[in-house]
Amino acid sequence: MTVAPQKTGVKSTHAEQLLEMYRRMSRIRRFEQRASDLYKATEIPGFLHLSIGQEASAVGACWPLRDTDGITSTHRGHGHVLAKGLDTASMMAELMGKEAGTCHGRGGSMHIADPGLGIYGANGIVGAGLPIATGVATAAKLRDAGDVVVAFFGDGAVAQGMFHEAVNLAAVWDLPVVFLCENNHYSEFSPAAEQHRAPLSARAAGYGIDYAQVDGNDVLAVAGIMIDVVERIRHGGGPVLVEAETYRWHGHYEGDPQRYRSPEEVAEAKERDPLRVARRHLAAAGVDASQADVVDEEIDKEIDAAVEWARSLPEPGPETLHDFVSAPRAVVPEPAPLSGEAEIFRSMDAVRLALEHELAADPAVFVAGIDVGAGGNVFGLTRGLAQAFPGRVRDTPISESAILGTAVGAAMAGMKPVVEIMYMDFIGVCLDMLLNQAAKLRFMTGGRASMPLVVRTQFGAGRSSGSQHSQSLEALLAHIPGLTVVMPSNPADTYGMLRAAIQDPNPVVFVENRLQYGFKGPQPPADHLIPLGRAKVVREGTDITLVSWSRMVQDCLAAAEVLSGEGVSVEVVDLRTVAPLDRQTVLTSLAKTNRLVIAHEAVRDFGVGAELAALAVDEGFWHLDAPVTRVAPPSVPAPYAPSLERAWLPSRDTIAATLRRIAAV
């Protein structure tokens, strides 16, 4: 279905090709018309954005694509995925929210995907498919298979920063991607003239890539342009921006009152109906109109059958609510304690050695980020890796959304990207790619999308780095279902957990503390792995449970040693993985000690410490002999002045004082 007749090895006539193009367009038109009717009858829930009037751009763009080529799409993506080969039946079931839908009823109209067909997702976030397309294209380039990616987007997406970041990165890396703008002249309710001052041709020139413009209502014209563009890209031509002029007949969404345009304008646009244009091409090629009528009748029957089948299906059962949130992870045993004779190494060595090990072991692994290649990372952590693994340790522009979007797309395409966000504070710049893409795509696609990616980042207060370079934002990330958040406290765990994160089938945010890069500890063997999602008791005790993670674990151990000299036995639990939270290890320790103190570097309010406190007073209530207490900075941004930072950040002395108070209760 996705392969153009001229690519199959069977010689097809021009008329046969035109008739097949018409068939694909008719399928989209009839599907969308029926979806509109079903929405009005409340058989389709949620939002519905239809592409009636834009069939030619979808079919023409996908015409020269192979099964292994990819597309990314938009909230108005039904036509794109149908043109790439998705079947109408499972798609109609998905729109109706049925278990047998394309994405098991988890995605709905705006989020249909099937990476097995090269469909890497329609997307409810405007412009989000563009960085993801760069990731799919990166995977294609690293595999050197000659595959091409088409990233569909509307004219409204041009105003998004993700558009700029994705096109710029694709240009810098010479990626095999077509950025195809379906210019329907409206960004939701606003005319394009009110949204942009520079034409796409000027933008393409600014990025140093080729540009082509085409009548998006003429399927033959679109296919002709795309055949040429795709062929050039397959042979290393680099990215191209194609603008297809078209028009959507319906509103931005079904139910849109469309006060922003007149009925006369819509009627005039319908004079260039893509199906009527295609029928004129058929007539010119000697195809009788009756043959096109037969196609329409066949498609009507196909859509009727799809609707009746979808109606007969059950919705997902409540017992499946938790399905597809995360992929099952392999069981990793807790390693044996390290030998006292082990060599000593630093946390920064642990990062480099873990990356080196996984790059050598798995050709699907690649590393990307700002200055991670030639520069070796701002802290020198990746120095030498670019030379050791040519093409697989890649410098990027300063474009966090493009970096993370590349990871998302590459992961869906079967790679194992490890990308770096230089400071944890910068997560906010690219939060959509974590919040709405990496964390949710496996769920929203009903498990069709794989997401084995790692985002390395670092934080650390205590050196006057200020409010925008010191934040500990793990609570923000831990609150996002689908993300794994790892925060090691020592060099051996850094090595073992980073390797485990790279091998894991889920998106993992791996957070290092930069003040620990020089911290020394015993070096584990090369095959050392630490299980994700499991806390560890790093000091046994009987009187108080003290829970922490990352660098503050070391302060907790020091405070526990001080309290030991005062006759108080403190058990220290290192969470290691913040999400998913190892509740059982904490509760088991609490049952033994009956007291709980939590220490962390993130601000106190609404943090992981609050979640642990809630756990204690819920499931652990009957074990408590004293109030649950948190030691953490007040809800104030990290100060710059050393005097203020010392007052703001807890220390081992602060922790020790809190332990004394709770021990005395």
Do residues 259 and 393 share a domain? no
Do residues 481 and 442 share a domain? yes
Residue 238 covered by a domain: yes
Block means of pLDDT (10 residues each) for the chain, 665 residues, are 34 84 98 96 94 96 97 95 97 97 95 95 92 97 95 91 96 98 83 80 95 96 97 95 92 84 88 95 94 97 97 96 95 90 94 98 98 92 96 96 97 97 95 96 96 97 91 96 98 98 98 96 96 98 98 98 98 98 98 98 96 97 97 95 94 97 95
Do residues 302 and 389 share a domain? no
Looking up residue 80, the CATH number of its domain turns out to be: 3.40.50.970
Residue 246 covered by a domain: yes
Do residues 133 and 25 share a domain? yes
CA distance 122 to 78: 8
CA distance 276 to 22: 10
The count of structural domains within the chain is 3
What pLDDT shows up at residue 204? Answer: 95
Do residues 489 and 572 share a domain? no
Please identify, among 492, 522, 552, the residue that sits at the C-terminal boundary of a domain: 522
Give the model confidence (pLDDT) of 113-140 as tens digits: 999 999 999 999 999 999 999 999 999 9
Give the model confidence (pLDDT) of 524-533 as tens digits: 999 999 999 9
Do residues 316 and 463 share a domain? no
Residue 191 covered by a domain: yes
Instruction: State the DSSP string of 191-259.
Output: EGGGT-SS-HHHHHHHHT-EEEEEETT-HHHHHHHHHHHHHHHHTT---EEEEEE---SS-SSTT---T
What pLDDT shows up at residue 156? Answer: 87
Residue 329 covered by a domain: no
Full domain range(s) for residue 231: 15-320
What pLDDT shows up at residue 186? Answer: 76
Enumerate the active-site residues. 400, 469
What is the Cβ-side half-sphere exposure of residue 648, based on CA atoms within 13 angstroms?
23
What pLDDT shows up at residue 12? Answer: 60
Residue 281 covered by a domain: yes
Do residues 405 and 542 share a domain? no
Q: Is the peptide bond before 580 cis (omega within 30 degrees of 0)?
A: yes
Looking up residue 630, the CATH number of its domain turns out to be: 3.40.50.920
Do residues 448 and 550 share a domain? no
Show the CA angle centred on residue 112, arms to residues 108 and 113, nearest 5°: 150
Residue 340 covered by a domain: no
Instruction: State the DSSP string of 361-428.
Output: H-TTEEEEETT-STT--TTSTTTTHHHHSTTTEEE--S-HHHHHHHHHHHHHTT-EEEEE-SSGGGGG
Do residues 518 and 559 share a domain? no
Query: Which helix (H) or strand (E) element contains residue 276?
Result: helix 274-284
Give the model confidence (pLDDT) of 190-226 as tens digits: 777 777 778 999 999 999 999 999 999 999 999 999 9
Do residues 513 and 541 share a domain? no
Give the model confidence (pLDDT) of 419-445 as tens digits: 999 999 999 999 999 999 999 999 999
Do residues 192 and 260 share a domain? yes
Residue 20 covered by a domain: yes
In degrees rounded to 5, what are phi and psi of residue 241? -105, 120
Q: Read off the tokens for 208.
A: 């140093």
Please identify, among 490, 522, 554, the residue that sits at the C-terminal boundary of a domain: 522
Show the CA angle centred on residue 297, arms to residues 295 and 303, nearest 5°: 100
Residue 337 covered by a domain: no
Residue with tokens 């196909």: 302
Do residues 113 and 214 share a domain? yes
